Amino acid sequence: MKVLVTGAAGFIGYHVARRLAETKRCEVLGVDNVGDYYEVALKRARLAALAAIEDFRFVQADFAEAEKFAALMAHFKPEYVVHLGAQPGVRYSMENPVAYTHSNLAGFASVLEACRRTPPKHLVFASSSSVYGAGAKSPFREEDNTDQPVSYYGATKKANELMAHSYALNHGLRITGLRFFTVYGPWGRPDMAPTIFARAICEGKPLKLFNHGKNLRDFTYVDDIVDGVVKVLLYPPAESPTPPMRIFNLGHHRPVETLLFVKMLEQLLGRSAQVELLPPQPGDMFETCADLTRVQAAIGFTPKVPLEEGLKQFVEWFRVYYQL
């Protein structure tokens, strides 16, 4: 089958594209603009690894360029689309909202319109646990009110869900949105906690923990996320009742305090951290925890990788890639 994956040079996009291409049953086309929000060398290294797989091809393009992306879709005619491309980062959305408006709002509108013109069997897109904002109670359930996201990033992801609902209702597109919860693992982004913490520990630099290290995060290993994405992809929502659109949480359901997370990294790296405990940051959520009842009932999704094993895999990759 033919699958188009946006954000293929990104963290989750790389892993999803790899899993699909290695099945020998998928022809995978990766799309990414290879932007410089974080080090381009890491994105190029991911793409180099993907290039070695026979059933993977790559096009460098910005999916927010509507006519060009629609033409690409019309030419490739994918049966399935996995839209993982986006401007990531909660805190950065407070500094540069224009980037999020371009990629997450205009970009997603471009993807939806291209799918309307060349309809796939199923469009799966990345939402985020950041849609759960003020007043959210743990564990977060898909039916909870998500009208008060704390960050602009979360607001764009909430908007994506509403936009997808509109296209499913009015155009019959089969769409699934996945709310990811703090994904980590090999090839992870350098602006995310595992890499930031590991680098600070290895380089003997101060490690800043906001909210005094008491934030709770539902750390989810990337292989579990990929399992969920691929299973969901193959089971589109039913055409009726309308609209054929649904939302699932994908997480681990076992939140861990960030201070404990750091201690686990210290043990695996064999070094001590110079921790600075600081007040909460604007836009941060104090706790994330995914209720998995809905996705377990729909596709039997259950995370398998415990944090201890996942962090071990991450540290092994981290040491090799960064030579630390």
Supply 195's token pair: 């890499």
Catalytic residue among 153, 167, 184, 221, which?
153
Supply 191's token pair: 């602006």
Q: What is the dihedral of CA 198, 200, 203, 206, to 10 degrees?
A: -150
Asked if 86 and 104 touch (Cβ cutoff 8 Å), the reply is yes
Sign of CA dihedral 245, 250, 254, 255: negative
Supply 169's token pair: 């209702």
HSE (CB half, 13 Å, CA atoms) of 82? 31
Q: Distance (Å, rounded) from C-alpha 90 to C-alpha 88?
A: 7
235 has catalytic annotation: no
Report which DSSP code applies to 279.
P
Asked if 117 and 75 touch (Cβ cutoff 8 Å), the reply is no
**Among all residues, which ones are annotated catalytic?**
153
